[in-house]
Structure 1
Amino acid sequence: MKKQLMFVVSLAFVFILAACGSTDGDDQAKETTTWDKVQEEGEIVVGTSGTLVATSYYPKDSDKLSGYDVEVMRAIGEKLGVDVKFQEMGFDALFAAMNSGRIDAAINDIEVTDKRKEKYAFTTPYKYSYTTLVVREDGLSGIETLDDLEGKKAGGAATSVFSDIARHYDAEVITYDNATNDVYLRDVDNGRTDVIINDYYLSKLGINAFPQFDLVLHPDIKVHPTKQAILLEQEDSELQKKMNEALKELQEDGTLTELSKKFFLGEDASKQPEGEITEIEGIES
């Protein structure tokens, strides 16, 4: 009887030790976060395209990556006390890189949508905008309303919301592998594609940067209000909190406004645009 009792007590003790060990292991695992890694290494690895004029690009005669998003990220790095290391890749590749842990964050005019929030976390927005169309000046590429997109060819990234809009109106999406703005614009100009559906600020900057193309922003189409933010892994709540605190400071001290005006022809994209912007029913946002 004593042997049985000793066995039961010993077995219970083993379970208690196992439970304690499991709890300690779980706590240790939970304590190791992306923010911990960033602090330890003194560096945050950020994915971006390097090909998007005004947002993430190489200015003429410069070998240093710059743009609104790039400089916002550098300003955040300064607030956090860490270096920012950029890895350049196509827009569609940013999400795969985040999934694999290759990067700690991504910034590339990434729109915040409910669908993306199911898989990822976002900081508070650092940019507000809406969607417009880049079309040929002569006849507006035959597009008077969004319904006229049917059968047209729209240049864009495969996984962007802008391409979702194109498909929603039965346009054919022509995708590119991290192409620069001039490639997209040239194809509309020469008729290979008919339209680029994209962010207002980026579209305006693109047309302004390449005046050799006979292109305009559509005068009557102003739709789909957007918010852009930094993409993070869903469990990175601590890094998200730190970045949000930095962004709040950058908004309050005027840094975001200053950077926006520098890259967006004097316009402040860090605040919500004025005027009526039409929502598009049926587009997941």
Structure 2
Amino acid sequence: MKHLFLMSALVLASSSLAATAPAATMPSTLTQGTLKIGMEGTYPPFTYKDAKGNLTGFDVDISRAIAAKLNLKPEFVLTEWSGIIAGLQAGKYDVIVNQVAITPERQKSIGFSEPYVYSTPQIIVKKSGNFAPKTLADLKGKRVGSSLGSNYEAQLKATGGINILTYPGAAEVLADLATGRIDAGYNDRLLVSYLIKSQNLPIRGAGTGNADAMGIALKKTNTGLKTAIDKALLQIKADGTYAKISRQWFGQDVSKP
């Protein structure tokens, strides 16, 4: 009976896909009809809570669309960015959908879907003042905030000569930037643009870096889940779901470099 239940659940999880992944490569939660998704919940417009306390955002909507294609119920697990990859490796969730940049260093320890978002890192400064850095080199000698363990922190370190202050997530960086505790922040251009338009924060965007490819992160051993998610991504792009979500949040298609 146990084997029959397992086979039935796997068929259900992939009924809308072209192929079924081997059971040995799929997380056990999928046999229960659930896809556990790790994200911050404090990173607008990607994942955050609205005025009523409901989880919302671009990554939340993308997660729900992918789970629907897999015939799975999405279960969101909120965690600070600084520990989000460790939580994946510890099995607290099946995937991370939280603008995780695909980097060679990360690919050594975790797997990724095909890129689903392309964005550019941007330097953030206070709206008042004359400091207008164009490149990371302009930040040398300055106090710059970044999320601990992020791709942005790695880029700042590689530049050298920058006084880097790390935080659990973007919200803390923005708070200290607004109060003048740091000279600049470094984060996602889409996040900066959204905050400038939607919130009354005394910040502005400055110089940008090179485009990053973002992927849905998962354990390297979960190859069947990767295949399923890649197919689901193709499906939501083909049927217009992705474009609708992207235009809602950004007014443009962010699936292309």
Q: Which has the higher strand share?
A: 2
- Of the three residues 78, 90, 94, the one matched with 1:88 is 78
Q: 2:31 corresponds to which residue?
A: 40
- Identical columns (%): 27
Asked if residue 234 in structure 1 is aligned to residue 220 in structure 2, the reply is yes
Q: 2:15 corresponds to which residue?
A: none
Runs of at least 4 residues off by over 4 Å: none
Give the Cα–Cα distance (whole angstroms) in 2 for the partners of residues 245 and 145 of structure 1.
Answer: 37
Contact 2:97 2:217 in 1 (8 A): yes
- 1:99 to partner: Cα distance: 1.3
**TM-score, scaled relative to structure 2:** 0.85
Give the Cα–Cα distance (whole angstroms) in 1 for the partners of residues 103 and 190 of structure 2.
Answer: 19
Contact 1:153 1:173 in 2 (8 A): yes
Map 1:140-155; keep pairs closer than 5 Å.
140-141=130-131, 143-155=133-145
212 and 94 in structure 1: CA distance in 2 versus 1, 3 angstrom threshold: closer
- Of the three residues 178, 196, 203, the one matched with 1:189 is 178
Map 1:1-285; keep pairs closer than 5 Å.
31-35=23-27, 37-59=28-50, 61-141=51-131, 143-169=133-159, 170-178=161-169, 180=171, 183-213=172-202, 215-218=203-206, 221-264=207-250, 266-272=251-257
Q: Which consecutive residues of structure 1, in runs of 5 or more, have no partner in the other structure? A: 1-29, 273-285
Give the Cα–Cα distance (whole angstroms) in 2 for the partners of residues 235 and 246 of structure 1.
Answer: 19
Q: Which has the higher helix share?
A: 1
One-letter amino acid matched to 1:58: K
- 1:76 to partner: Cα distance: 0.5
Count how many residue pairs are aligned between Structure 1 and Structure 2: 235
Contact 1:156 1:176 in 2 (8 A): yes
One-letter amino acid matched to 1:89: T
- 1:68 to partner: Cα distance: 0.6
Q: Which consecutive residues of structure 2, in runs of 5 or more, have no partner in the other structure? A: 1-21
Q: Which of 1 and 2 has greater Rg?
A: 1
- 1:113 to partner: Cα distance: 0.7
Give the Cα–Cα distance (whole angstroms) in 1 for the partners of residues 136 and 248 of structure 2.
Answer: 32
Coordinate RMSD, CA, aligned: 1.8
Residue-by-residue CA offset, 1:239-283 (whole Å, 9 max, x unaligned): 00000000001111121111112112x1221222xxxxxxxxxxx
